[in-house]
Amino acid sequence: MDFYSDILKEKKISDRESVIAIGNFDGVHIGHQSILNKFKNYPDLNKVIITFKPHPVLFVNPTKNLKLIIADYADKINILKKFNPDTIFLQDFSNIIKNARPIDFVRTLKEKLNMKYLIVGDDYNFGKNRAGNVEFLSKISNSFDFNLIIVPQIEENNLRITSSYIRKLLLNGEIELVNKYLYTKFFIKGFVETGASRGKKLGFPTVNFKSYASNQIYPNDGVYITFTKIDGDTNIYKSITNIGNNPTFNEDARRVETHILDFNKDIYFKKIKICFLKKLRTEVKFNSTEELVAQINKDKANTINYFNNIIITV
């Protein structure tokens, strides 16, 4: 597989005819998968995925503070590779791309990638003033000798399954529904930082999580059944993760803390990945540490029971 970062700087990349899928693909949800699965129809063509870094919204309007479902671009690329492309562009999004005339961008795809098929979602737009859309592409496809494949967005219960919709689900803590729509279970990645060791004193030591990415989206505050992977360790560890500000102890900072079941190793500053499976409950302020410990024991029992009835898949 070939990997590129800027199509504008490349010479002609392929003499083979190409089928090209373009999108931001944040989350690689079922709508994105319906686009990428079209590759199966063109086994003999050069299969190309074009996605963008940073997300165009973050480039055009950084004050909007868009949170991403997959904040690490390397993780997104690894998922996109599952669709067996021959070429991936993690395209640098710049003012040149933002302000390009749509017809010039299409000409670039045709000249450098020998584009024969272009696959886009029905709401795709690009170029200066976002003037490039499916109507524009349909009009020029004959003159540029390519076939446009417009993939309708997937709907469920009259709701369009989009990245924006999945972000709303995450902010409501609807993890099981989110996981139904994503290619992989929702996860966050970062490293283990030092904490107050309060969990250890209560008999439930926790891993204090710190994300590498400032634009990582998190589920809403609460207690979740999760599993955790540790860098350099092939095991998958059952865990319980709390997101919130520990109201019982009147803390202000929002934290992500994970209790790994039956685990007592020192993993400070190790890289970790936390995958979310189910929300157990909302975060509650307890009247005493005894009440908190009693509830944690219930959470642990519920988590063990949950894992006893499933097979963990990454």
Same domain, 148 and 221: no
Residue 312: band (very low, low, confident or very high) from pLDDT cuts 50, 70, 90: confident
Q: Name the token pair of 108.
A: 């670039």
The residue range of the domain holding 51 is 2-160
Same domain, 155 and 192: no
* Residue 250 pLDDT: 66
* Residue 200 pLDDT: 64
Question: Please, what's the b/e burial string for 203-225 (b: 16 or more CB within 10 A of its CB; e: otherwise)?
Answer: ebbbbbbebebeebbbbeebbbb
* Residue 246 pLDDT: 78
Percent with pLDDT over 70 in the chain = 96
Percent with pLDDT over 90 in the chain = 80
Number of structural domains found in the chain? 2
Residue 197: band (very low, low, confident or very high) from pLDDT cuts 50, 70, 90: low
Residue 176 belongs to some domain of the structure: no
Classify 25 in phi/psi space as left (phi over 0), alpha (psi -120 to 50) or beta.
left
Query: Cβ distance 286 to 202 under 8 Å?
Result: no
What's the average model confidence in pLDDT over 283-307?
A: 92
- How far apart CA 29 and CA 78 sit, in angstroms, is 14
Same domain, 189 and 155: no
pLDDT, the chain, mean: 93
* Residue 93 pLDDT: 95
Residue 294 belongs to some domain of the structure: yes
Residue 38 belongs to some domain of the structure: yes
Identify which has the larger pLDDT, 156 or 15: 156
Residue 185's Cβ-side half-sphere holds a number of Cα atoms within 13 Å equal to 17
Closest CA to 211 of 66, 68, 29, 79: 68
Residue 199: band (very low, low, confident or very high) from pLDDT cuts 50, 70, 90: low
3-state SS track over 42-62: CCCCEEEEEEEECCHHHHHCH
What's the average model confidence in pLDDT over 8-36?
A: 94
Residue 171 belongs to some domain of the structure: no
Same domain, 212 and 272: yes
On the question of pLDDT at 219 being above 70, the answer is yes
Residue 154 belongs to some domain of the structure: yes
- How far apart CA 82 and CA 79 sit, in angstroms, is 5
* Residue 64 pLDDT: 85
Of 93-97, 220-224, 286-290, the range with the lowest mean pLDDT is: 286-290
CATH classification at residue 134 = 3.40.50.620
CATH classification at residue 261 = 2.40.30.30
On the question of pLDDT at 284 being above 90, the answer is no
- How far apart CA 261 and CA 237 sit, in angstroms, is 7
* Residue 289 pLDDT: 85
Same domain, 147 and 214: no
Residue 291 belongs to some domain of the structure: yes
3-state SS track over the chain: CEEECCHHHCCCCCCCCEEEEECCCCCCEHHHHHHHHHHHHCCCCEEEEEEEECCHHHHHCHHHCCCECCCCHHHHHHHHHHHCCCEEEEEECCHHHHCCCHHHHHHHHHHHHCEEEEEEECCCEECHHHCEEHHHHHHHCCCCCCEEEEECCCEECCEECCHHHHHHHHHCCCHHHHHHHECCCCEEEEEEECCCCHHHHCCCCCEEEEECCCCECCCCCEEEEEEEEECCCCCCEEEEEEEECCHHHCCCCCEEEEEECCCCCCCCCCEEEEEEEEEEECCCCCCCHHHHHHHHHHHHHHHHHHHCCCCCCC
Same domain, 9 and 154: yes
Residue 287: band (very low, low, confident or very high) from pLDDT cuts 50, 70, 90: confident
Of 118-127, 132-141, 196-205, 249-258, the range with the lowest mean pLDDT is: 196-205
Query: Cβ distance 170 to 182 under 8 Å?
Result: no
* Residue 77 pLDDT: 97
- Tokens 């996981």 label which residue? 179
Residue 129: band (very low, low, confident or very high) from pLDDT cuts 50, 70, 90: confident
What pTM value is reported for the model? 0.93
Cα 66 from chain centroid (whole Å): 13
Strands 115-121, 18-22: pairing is: parallel
Residue 175 belongs to some domain of the structure: no
Same domain, 257 and 119: no
* Last residue within a domain, chosen from 160, 175, 208: 160
Show which residues are catalytic: 257
* Residue 201 pLDDT: 61
Residue 202: band (very low, low, confident or very high) from pLDDT cuts 50, 70, 90: low
Tens-place pLDDT, residues 46-68 = 999 999 999 999 999 988 889 99
Same domain, 23 and 150: yes
* Last residue within a domain, chosen from 160, 193, 219: 160
Q: How many CB atoms lie within 10 A of CB 312?
A: 12
Tens-place pLDDT, residues 175-187 = 999 999 999 999 9
* Residue 144 pLDDT: 97
Same domain, 22 and 151: yes
Same domain, 128 and 274: no
Same domain, 275 and 200: yes
Same domain, 25 and 132: yes
* Residue 196 pLDDT: 64
Residue 180 belongs to some domain of the structure: no
CA-to-CA separations, 13 to 9, 94, 233, in angstroms, rounded = 11, 21, 39
